[in-house]
Amino acid sequence: MPSQPARRHHGRVPDRPPAAAPLPQRARSSYQHAGDGVPMPRIAMSYALRRLPLPVPNRRDLVALPLVLVLFFIISHAGRQMVAPYQLGQQLAISLSPLALPAYGLYTVLRMLAALVVSLVFTIVYAWLAAHNRYAERVLIPALDILQSVPVLGYLSITVTGFIALFPGSLWGVQMAVIFAVFTGQAWNMAFALYQGMKTLPRDLQEAATLYRLNAWQRFWKLELPFAMPGLLWNTMMSMSGGWFMVVASEAITVSGQTVTVPGIGSYIARAIAARDLGAIGWAIFAMVIIILLYDTLLFRPIVAWADKFKFEMTASGVAPTSFVLDFLRRTRFIKLLGSAPRALWELSLWLSPRVGRTAAPSPRLRRYGDGVFFAALLVFAAWALVTLLHVLPRDFGWPLVGHVLWLGLLTGFKVIVLVALSALVWVPIGVWIGLRPTWAAKVQPLAQFLAAFPANLLFPLFVLGIVRWHLDVDLFTAPLMILGSMWYVLFSVVGAASAIPTDMREAAQNLGLKGWLLWKRLYLPGVFPGFVTGAITASGGAWNASIVAEVVSWGDKTLVANGLGAYISQATSAGKGADIALGVGVMCLYVTVVNRVFWRRLYDLAIRRVRLD
């Protein structure tokens, strides 16, 4: 039968896609609008399930399936051990035997992975709201500055007793407190990274999404998240490594004169430092190396290789990252079939997501009215907060103590500024060099993760012994401990930004003969500038947070205290002085917010307005 002439569809789409090979009659599925005349496929779920072939496992499945089952068994067994009966005040025995480290390491990694999942969910929701609603942006981004500046001890002093009260008679409450503490060390950096990626999205891609009338759900998953993926992935790895600092600080914490510990690498390190056992510290470092290599090989390296397809470029890159684990899984049959489930869920979400209609932009008059209401509400809140502080501070603390704490904050702030500047001078060139070379990035990745995860507590013996033996200045020589755990934010952010520089732009610079400083000025530095600002903001907040640990160092019975806001908060936490903790945390939040608003946020706006891949 001759083919019928094509019909014109007014606002409708044909029953089959314009493909070269037509679908069978039974396989035809309806199509959903993404816009006028733009078909979006919708799976006929019942047909797909009926036609789904039964997988025949191959040799790789015979290796992968038992490993997956063993992994689930280990996780379930560890989960049961982590919710054992517990009463507040009960002291859990922490063994310094190396044989206990495998179990302790498993407990710590499970807490960190649980916190990472929560951080990802928080990042997606928080960053999307901040990037798409300008009123929410003016509240959420300053709030993010404040949240990242609140020290982990400030969170734990409030949340430990609350979580224990939620789960009485169970260790689960303490586990939740530790997971929450690790979450506070992971989420802010990831939220900043995703927000930065969404705000620097090229305008031509935004116009294409508008032209195809993608709704918010489709725009995020098909455009915004893939574009931000390289930077978000490297910042996620940094957050995972930075979580080790929170683990060490939270698995053994003294709150209100009472020590709360849970089995893990962090509590093992704290016990080894208290016992001055160098052998146990060496075993802890060895266990950390093995753990980081394992989750880098099994988790992050496959994700880096998979995410390379999201790189924004017009030509294929010469060298792509690889992972033998990802290649192995792609050659399986049963595991690969399980991996197709997200695609089915995506098609189902398209079917359920609403269509996009043609909506007119709000009028300038309405926007000015909304801005006026918003700023009026902010002014009222700021006036109320100022009046409350002027009433509470002299009554509860007295102005001399408030002035002393402000002076301590200035001392710590000066250290943070100098340390972040020095780390930028060192790590920006190195990060660009690594990010432009995927082969070297794959080699350096586990080493960088280990160095970022290395707890500063393990260096306390060297610093304490050196300062005491040579009578060195405590304020000067304990300052490097503040940046050891946070300078890696700069490196990881710059590596992610450099790896996202399109290959065609690099080839164009090469064809134009750009070399030396001119190449850095015209391509490399502008290309990594948004990522550098994100890393510098989080590094600054991390240094403020680390000052609590770095300004009070101990080894056995020797304790050295530096002058600074971190030492004030640490001593107040150990003594259980809630009012002093609140004063110290409030002053730290004030300084971090002011510095971010006055300096870093202006650089961030410059990156969004002028340094983009447009």
Cα–Cα distance for residue pair 397/399, rounded to 1 Å: 7
pLDDT (0 to 100) of residue 121: 93
Confidence check: pLDDT of 360 > 70:
no
Confidence check: pLDDT of 302 > 70:
yes
Residue 72, phi then psi, degrees to nearest 5: -65, -40
Confidence check: pLDDT of 517 > 80:
yes
pLDDT (0 to 100) of residue 158: 66
pLDDT (0 to 100) of residue 154: 61
Confidence check: pLDDT of 46 > 80:
no
User: Is residue 489 within 8 Å of residue 448, measured between CB atoms?
Assistant: no
CA distances 311 to 50, 230, 307, 317, 456, Å, are 36, 7, 8, 9, 35
Q: Which residue has the higher pLDDT, 145 or 183?
A: 183
pLDDT (0 to 100) of residue 399: 86
Q: Which residue has the higher pLDDT, 66 or 287?
A: 287
The DSSP-derived string for 342-358 is HHHHHHHHHHHSPPPP-
Beta carbons within 8 Å of 141's beta carbon, 6+ residues apart = 130, 195, 601
Confidence check: pLDDT of 357 > 70:
no
CA-based end-to-end distance of the chain? 51
Q: If you average pLDDT over residues 472-492, what whole number do you get?
A: 83
- Of the listed ranges 264-273, 393-402, 530-539, 567-576, the least confidently predicted one is 567-576
Beta carbons within 8 Å of 147's beta carbon, 6+ residues apart = 184, 188
Confidence check: pLDDT of 443 > 60:
yes
pLDDT (0 to 100) of residue 87: 73
Pairing between strand 558-561 and 552-555? antiparallel
Q: If you average pLDDT over residues 321-348, what whole number do you get?
A: 74
pLDDT (0 to 100) of residue 606: 82
Q: Band of the pLDDT at 477, cuts 50, 70, 90?
A: confident
Cα–Cα distance for residue pair 237/228, rounded to 1 Å: 14
Q: If you average pLDDT over residues 277-287, what whole number do you get?
A: 87
- Name the percent of the chain in helix, strand, coil, to the closest 5: 75, 5, 20
pLDDT (0 to 100) of residue 212: 81
338 HSE (CA, 13 A, CB side):
11
Cα–Cα distance for residue pair 591/598, rounded to 1 Å: 11
User: Is residue 42 within 8 Å of residue 50, measured between CB atoms?
Assistant: no
pLDDT (0 to 100) of residue 17: 42
Supply the pTM of this predicted model. Answer: 0.74
Other CB atoms closer than 10 Å to residue 528's CB: what's the count?
28
Q: Which residue has the higher pLDDT, 255 or 286?
A: 286
pLDDT (0 to 100) of residue 151: 67
Cα–Cα distance for residue pair 174/159, rounded to 1 Å: 9
- Of the listed ranges 76-80, 182-186, 492-496, the least confidently predicted one is 76-80
pLDDT (0 to 100) of residue 500: 79
Helical axes 488-499 vs 399-435, angle rounded to 10°:
40
Q: If you average pLDDT over residues 183-187, what whole number do you get?
A: 85
pLDDT (0 to 100) of residue 9: 39
- Of the listed ranges 4-8, 74-78, 417-421, 577-581, the least confidently predicted one is 4-8
Cα–Cα distance for residue pair 373/289, rounded to 1 Å: 54
Structure tokens at 485: 């755990």
Share of the chain above pLDDT 90, in %: 8
Pick among 3.40.50.300, 3.20.10.10, 1.10.3720.10, 3.30.9.10: CATH of 92-322+396-610: 1.10.3720.10
User: Is residue 238 within 8 Å of residue 447, measured between CB atoms?
Assistant: no
- Of the listed ranges 24-28, 426-430, 554-558, 571-575, the least confidently predicted one is 24-28
**Is the backbone of residue 170 left (phi > 0), alpha (psi -120 to 50) or beta?**
beta
Confidence check: pLDDT of 291 > 50:
yes
Q: Band of the pLDDT at 160, cuts 50, 70, 90?
A: confident
Burial 465-477 (b: 16+ CB within 10 A, else e): eebeeeeeebbeb
Confidence check: pLDDT of 123 > 90:
yes
Q: Band of the pLDDT at 421, cuts 50, 70, 90?
A: very high
Q: Band of the pLDDT at 612, cuts 50, 70, 90?
A: low
- Of the listed ranges 79-88, 94-103, 168-177, the least confidently predicted one is 79-88
Cα–Cα distance for residue pair 502/317, rounded to 1 Å: 8
pLDDT (0 to 100) of residue 40: 43
- Helix ranges (H only) for 397-437 are 399-435
CA distances 405 to 333, 568, 588, Å, are 62, 8, 9
- Of the listed ranges 17-31, 215-229, 476-490, the least confidently predicted one is 17-31
Q: Which residue reads 């025949």 in tokens?
A: 56
Q: Mapping DSSP to helix (H, G, I), strand (E, B) and coil, where does residue 614 land?
A: coil
Measured in whole angstroms, how far is the alpha carbon of residue 86 from the centre of its chain?
A: 31
What is the residue type of 545?
N
Torsion of CA 70, 76, 79, 80, to 10 degrees: -120
Q: If you average pLDDT over residues 283-287, what whole number do you get?
A: 89
258 secondary structure, DSSP code: E
The DSSP-derived string for 36-78 is TTEEEE---HHHHHHTPPPP---HHHHHHHHHHHHHHHHHHHH
Q: Which residue has the higher pLDDT, 45 or 212?
A: 212
Q: Band of the pLDDT at 221, cuts 50, 70, 90?
A: confident
Cα–Cα distance for residue pair 252/340, rounded to 1 Å: 42
Q: Which residue reads 């797909």 in tokens?
A: 48
Confidence check: pLDDT of 162 > 80:
no
- Of the listed ranges 351-355, 510-514, 559-563, the least confidently predicted one is 351-355
Q: Band of the pLDDT at 30, cuts 50, 70, 90?
A: very low
260 HSE (CA, 13 A, CB side):
26
Structure tokens at 558: 């020797």
For 246-269, the pLDDT digits (tens) are: 777 778 766 555 667 888 888 888
Confidence check: pLDDT of 43 > 50:
no
- Provide the mean pLDDT of the chain: 77
pLDDT (0 to 100) of residue 126: 93
